[in-house]
Amino acid sequence: MDQNNSIQAFQGLASPPGVMTPTMPVFSPMMPYGSGLTPQPVQNTNSLSILEEQQRQQRQQQQQQQTQQLNTGLPGASGQTPQLFHSQPVPGSTTTALPGNTPLYSAPVTPMTPIAPATPASESSGIVPQLQNIVSTVNLGCKLDLKTIALRARNAEYNPKRFAAVIMRIREPRTTALIFSSGKMVCTGAKSEEQSRLAARKYARVVQKLGFPAKFLDLKIQNMVGSCDVKFPIRLEGLVLTHQQFSSYEPELFPGLIYRMIKPRIVLLIFVSGKVVLTGAKVRAEIYEAFENIYPILKGFRKTT
Amino acid sequence: MSASSLPFPVIVPMLRVPILKPMFLPFPFSLWPRTLLPPLFLRPTVVKFPPTPCRLTASVAVVVNPGLDRSDISYSRTTAVTRKPCVNLIQGLERVKEISRILRVRREIEELALTYYKQAYEHETFLHVTLQRKEILGGCCVLASCRQQRWPITVGTISCLLNGDPAAVGEVYQEMIKVLNIQAPTFSVTDVMEAHCQEYKVSPGHVPEELAEDSKGLTKRAIALVELAADSWIVTGRQPLPIMMAAVYLAWQSLKPNAQRLKMSLEKFCKLAKVQKSKTAGTRITEMKGMLYKLGKEIPWYKEVLTPDNVVSLVGDVLQHRFSLLRRALKSHELSLLEKCPAGQVNPSSAETSSSSDVSEDAGQTPVKSSVNAEKEKQGRDGDESLKSPSEESNPQTQELTQNWGKRVLFAPPCVVNAKRKRAERPPLHVTGDEEISDSEIESYIRTPQEARDFAMMQEKLFTSNNESS
């Protein structure tokens, strides 16, 4: 395996998160969860359900446009292939609810467009990383009395001496939220973007039911963690020698090799068993791209050493 | 007006000359005592300094001619002295020197460590950290320079010297590498083996002759065992110390495999050699014996029944003929796999061929022909697909082999061979994120008023009981 090719792929400037090759309009760099690119809000109401209704209507319009253009059949391994068009982040924030806004994924996509980014299908690994955890933040838009929430909610714990936030949990989707008195909330544990969004909405609804004028502003995915198994052992000592500028392997401290990929900006934990953990992504496509980048290195490296 | 009528003393020379009685005093006003000067002449025009609350010294006073520019000079300029180096930096540099001398490193390593420490200390990442962290930084600088100069040393050694947590040392080390933008080669077990073997006091002067072993021979045998263990996936990702201890123990036993040595347990050996026993070394010994057993089985002239327990006596032969034994072991393994799964339903994975090619290429030998052929056949395929088929699923043995590729190969990382049972995964939840949220579900998360009252009462009781007890 020619190592130089793989090394060249990581040189150059780091691309902004979510940026893909120009031929892949599916993976737009826009962050529809409101990452600072959101236009001015149309309206802010106190009722969460009214806002949700508006968003649902807009999304229905977008999905109607998408279903006309997209092929629902997706290549890839069954059971592991993500429903990417459903999972693509759709405008979930009230601040993006502008009428006449161009839907993000309305660009025509042919049925034969491969989903794996930047890699021809013949060189695809055939392995799709599974998402294990999504961390998202949302602004409830009002100050909260944490003592009241801890008193009146069953699924909340609050110990101000230990941590200045209420820890709330729901069963479905199985997630945990940290709710701060400023009204900001962190939602962790979801396995997909949609689950994270649904969970955050449920937490906001609980807070609303407790009597606070909670809104649902600026939902943003902060981190995504994925994992997969290449099913062959990996010589970490060799990998750290050939990719010294990206790798860190200290068996005395941690059994895995820490690989800091520059493009996309993802951190991979590579273990001798062949299991790989990818973290630091803002969009799902970064995880896939990072894995497709590392797989030839792992595979080629295993044969040459 | 006579001299005596003036309100101040006047020195009048006693001269028999007519005394002038001037209307004004003969010498200038500025030289008059302040208490005697009329208020008009008390304006402070001589000394000028900026109105800052600072102590004045004699050097501060600057005479400013009132007629010229009255720009102020800053205090820092006026009191500028040679900047002294930071006391903590000096102490830190001394500490780096001490660590270097304890470890008896070369002069170049010490100087490099001092350079790194100075650079890192003055960086914003480390400038305002605690003294403890700065001390750890000193140790990390020594570690980095030792690694760059190929001086064998472990993070554990530095942690021990600093009396700190290895995790904290590792964290500071990674930060320091990033800040200084340097690259230090990673740790290699074989590099450290020689230094490690010298810690074991089993040379002829320290122990009885039947238990004594020459240091060089012991080191050589231990290094060979570590290399073989590394080829068999026992070393990668593991703590180095237990592996080194296991290698030294097996090397010591195998160099003179008499009954006395073979009976001696690891604990007794460590007491004999005056080293602290590592708990994990026992597991590594078992794994290494298992590896030696797989190779030792292929020795054609050994006619007795071989078990992992009595393989130590054959270590010498195994190490001497390891390449050919490995070839035979791979062949036997492939045949046994074919016997278990007839009609070639289970493909020996490319991992097996890779492990064989890894070992044999490391040894510089040509790969096994059968494995090369098998590898060529597989080059056209993606080697990682699921191998399930209906007949395989019906056979639990083949199913196990299919699901756990570690059981299909001769050597695999132990974490794969003894894979932990995965907890039952929840079925994936397919949602769009915009579903209706039922009120009943949300209500289930909210306490009833009675519950809330009971909870508040309970908290109050707990609070008062805690206060009483404290």
The edge-to-edge listing of strands for the beta sheet with A275-281 is: A156-158, A166-170, A175-179, A184-190, A130-139, A217-229, A275-281, A266-270, A257-261, A247-249
Q: Which is nearest to A195 in space by CA: B434, B443, B424?
A: B434
Of the candidates A155, A230, A252, which has its C-beta nearest B240's C-beta?
A252
Cβ distance of B429 and A195 shorter than 8 Å: yes
Q: Decide: A68 and A105 in contact? Cβ < 8 Å.
A: no
Cβ distance of A252 and B428 shorter than 8 Å: no
Q: Which residues of B touch A210 (CB under 8 A)?
A: 446
The answer to the question of residue A199 being in a domain is: yes
Tokens of A124: 């695809």
Cβ distance of A232 and B451 shorter than 8 Å: no
Q: Decide: B222 and B247 in contact? Cβ < 8 Å.
A: yes
User: Which of A24-28, A130-134, B183-187 has the highest average model confidence (pLDDT)?
Assistant: A130-134
Of the candidates A206, A236, A253, which has its C-beta nearest B167's C-beta?
A253
CB pairs under 8 A between A and B: 155
Preceding peptide of A111 cis, ω within 30°: no
- A185: domain CATH number? 3.30.310.10
**Rounded distance, CA B430 to CA B246, Å?**
50
Give the pLDDT mean for B279-284. 93
A229 strand-pairing partners: A275
Q: Which is nearest to B70 in space by CA: B88, B50, B87?
A: B50
Q: Decide: B106 and B130 in contact? Cβ < 8 Å.
A: no
Q: Which is nearest to B323 in space by CA: B346, B295, B343?
A: B295
| Backbone torsions φ then ψ of B386, nearest 5 degrees | -70, 140
Q: Using a pLDDT cut of 90, give the percent of chain B over it.
A: 35
**Rounded distance, CA B210 to CA B26, Å?**
113
Preceding peptide of A264 cis, ω within 30°: yes
The answer to the question of residue A103 being in a domain is: no
**Rounded distance, CA A212 to CA A206, Å?**
9
| Residue B342 pLDDT > 60 | yes
Q: Which residues of A touch B166 (CB under 8 A)?
A: 252-253
Cβ distance of A125 and B240 shorter than 8 Å: no
Chain B residue with minimum CA distance to A79: B428
The answer to the question of residue A169 being in a domain is: yes
Encode pLDDT of B392-405 as tens digits: 444 556 655 556 78
**Which range has the worst mean pLDDT, A53-62, A128-137, A213-222, B243-252?**
A53-62
Of the candidates A154, A237, A255, which has its C-beta nearest B445's C-beta?
A154
Note the Cα A234 to chain centre separation in Å: 27
3-state secondary structure of A276: strand
Chain A residue with minimum CA distance to B456: A151
Cβ distance of A253 and B166 shorter than 8 Å: yes
| Residue A81 pLDDT > 70 | no
Instruction: Among A191, A221, A251, give the residue marking a domain's end.
Output: A221
Which residues, 6 or more positions from A173, have their beta carbon under 8 angstroms from its beta carbon?
A: A189, A190, A191, A195, A196, A198, A199, B429, B431
Rounded to the nearest angstrom, the minimum Cα separation between B409 and chain A is: 10
What pLDDT score does B448 carry?
93
Length of chain B: 470
3-state secondary structure of A178: strand
Of the candidates A172, A191, A245, which has its C-beta nearest B428's C-beta?
A191
Residues A140 and A213 in one domain: yes
Q: Which is nearest to A253 in space by CA: B239, B468, B108?
A: B239
Of the candidates B230, B431, B455, which has its C-beta nearest A198's C-beta?
B431
Q: Which residues of B touch A153 (CB under 8 A)?
A: 445-447
Q: Which is nearest to A137 in space by CA: A80, A83, A56, A218?
A: A218
Rounded to the nearest angstrom, the minimum Cα separation between A42 and chain B is: 19
Residues A204 and A141 in one domain: yes
The answer to the question of residue A257 being in a domain is: yes
Q: Which residues of A touch B230 (CB under 8 A)?
A: 237
Q: Using a pLDDT cut of 70, give the percent of chain A over it.
A: 58
Which residues, 6 or more positions from B97, have their beta carbon under 8 angstroms from its beta carbon?
A: B110, B114
Residues A206 and A234 in one domain: no
**Rounded distance, CA B367 to CA B374, Å?**
11
Chain B residue with minimum CA distance to A197: B433
| Residue A1 pLDDT > 90 | no
Say if residue B12 is exposed, middle or buried (CB neighbours under 10 Å; 0-12, 13-18, 19+). exposed
Residues A253 and A179 in one domain: no
Note the Cα B398 to chain centre separation in Å: 43
Confidence of residue A269 (pLDDT cuts 50, 70, 90): very high
**Which residue out of B136, B416, B451, B462 would a mutagenesis test of the A interface target, given it has the greatest number of A Cβ atoms within 10 Å?**
B416
Cβ distance of A90 and B452 shorter than 8 Å: no
| Residue A126 pLDDT > 70 | yes
Of the candidates A173, A248, A251, which has its C-beta nearest B240's C-beta?
A251
Cβ distance of A233 and B351 shorter than 8 Å: yes
Cβ distance of A202 and B437 shorter than 8 Å: yes
| Backbone torsions φ then ψ of B167, nearest 5 degrees | -65, -40
The answer to the question of residue A93 being in a domain is: no
Radius of gyration of chain B from its Cα atoms, rounded to whole angstroms: 42
Rounded to the nearest angstrom, the minimum Cα separation between B308 and chain A is: 24
Q: Decide: A118 and A20 in contact? Cβ < 8 Å.
A: yes
Q: Which is nearest to A139 in space by CA: A70, A254, A222, A243?
A: A222
Residues A214 and A279 in one domain: no
Please tell me which residue, A58 or B29, carries the higher pLDDT value: A58
Cβ distance of A230 and B384 shorter than 8 Å: yes
Residues A147 and A217 in one domain: yes
Give the pLDDT mean for A21-37. 41
Within a 10 A sphere around the Cβ of B383, how many other Cβ atoms?
20
Whether the CB of A139 is below 8 Å from some CB of chain B: the reply is no
What pLDDT score does A93 carry?
40
Residue with tokens 């040595």: B261
Cβ distance of B186 and A250 shorter than 8 Å: yes
| E-state strands within A115-246 | 130-139, 156-158, 166-170, 175-179, 184-190, 217-229
Q: Which residues of A touch B156 (CB under 8 A)?
A: 252
**Rounded distance, CA B276 to CA B278, Å?**
6
Tokens of B183: 């690259």
Rounded to the nearest angstrom, the minimum Cα separation between B325 and chain A is: 20
Q: Which of residues 182-221 of A touch B (CB under 8 A)?
A: 191-198, 201-202, 205-206, 209-210
Encode pLDDT of B109-124 as tens digits: 999 999 999 999 988 8
Q: Which is nearest to B355 in space by CA: B333, B377, B387?
A: B333
What pLDDT score does A12 carry?
42
Residues A261 and A286 in one domain: yes
Q: Which residues of B touch A269 (CB under 8 A)?
A: none
Residue with tokens 């309305």: A106
Please tell me which residue, A295 or B43, carries the higher pLDDT value: A295
Residues A203 and A241 in one domain: no
| Residue B366 pLDDT > 90 | no
H helix or E strand, kind and range, residue A268? strand A266-270
Confidence of residue B209 (pLDDT cuts 50, 70, 90): confident
Confidence of residue B433 (pLDDT cuts 50, 70, 90): confident
| Residue A22 pLDDT > 50 | no
Query: Domain of A170?
Result: 136-221
**Rounded distance, CA B358 to CA B376, Å?**
16
Q: Using a pLDDT cut of 90, give the percent of chain A over it.
A: 54
**Rounded distance, CA A297 to CA B12, Å?**
108
Q: Which is nearest to B179 in space by CA: B250, B132, B114, B120?
A: B120
B196 strand-pairing partners: none
**Which residue out of B437, B438, B454, B463 would a mutagenesis test of the A interface target, given it has the greatest number of A Cβ atoms within 10 Å?**
B437
Q: At what angle do helices B281-296 and B215-231 cross, to 10 degrees?
A: 80
Residues A161 and A178 in one domain: yes
**Which range has the worst mean pLDDT, A189-198, B336-345, B407-416, B421-430?**
B336-345
**Which residue out of B140, B425, B432, B443 would a mutagenesis test of the A interface target, given it has the greatest number of A Cβ atoms within 10 Å?**
B432
The answer to the question of residue A151 being in a domain is: yes
Of the candidates B236, B413, B434, which has its C-beta nearest A237's C-beta?
B236
| Backbone torsions φ then ψ of A267, nearest 5 degrees | -105, 130
The answer to the question of residue A197 being in a domain is: yes
Cβ distance of B187 and A151 shorter than 8 Å: no
Instruction: Among A221, A256, A289, give the residue marking a domain's end.
Output: A221
Of the candidates A209, A252, A303, which has its C-beta nearest B155's C-beta?
A252
State the number of CA atoms in the 13 A half-sphere of A38 facing the CB.
21
| Number of structural domains chain A divides into | 2
Cβ distance of A233 and B416 shorter than 8 Å: yes
Q: Decide: B280 and B254 in contact? Cβ < 8 Å.
A: no
Chain A residue with minimum CA distance to B231: A235
Instruction: Among A187, A221, A255, give the residue marking a domain's end.
Output: A221
Q: Which is nearest to B195 in space by CA: B153, B147, B149?
A: B153
The answer to the question of residue A204 being in a domain is: yes
Of the candidates B237, B434, B455, which has its C-beta nearest A151's C-beta?
B455
Residue with tokens 């609350």: B53
Q: Which of residues 17-36 of A touch B (CB under 8 A)?
A: none
What pLDDT score does A265 carry?
95
Q: Which of residues 65-94 of A touch B (CB under 8 A)?
A: 83, 86, 90, 92
| Residue A196 pLDDT > 60 | yes
Residues A141 and A213 in one domain: yes
What pLDDT score does A68 carry?
61
Residues A193 and A264 in one domain: no
What pLDDT score does A65 carry?
63
> Sign (positive/negative) of CA torsion A148, A151, A155, A159?
positive
Tokens of A137: 């933040």
**Rounded distance, CA B456 to CA B450, Å?**
10
Q: Which residues of A touch B445 (CB under 8 A)?
A: 153-155, 170, 206
| Residue A232 pLDDT > 70 | yes
Residues A213 and A263 in one domain: no
Q: Decide: B210 and B184 in contact? Cβ < 8 Å.
A: no
Cβ distance of A235 and B432 shorter than 8 Å: no
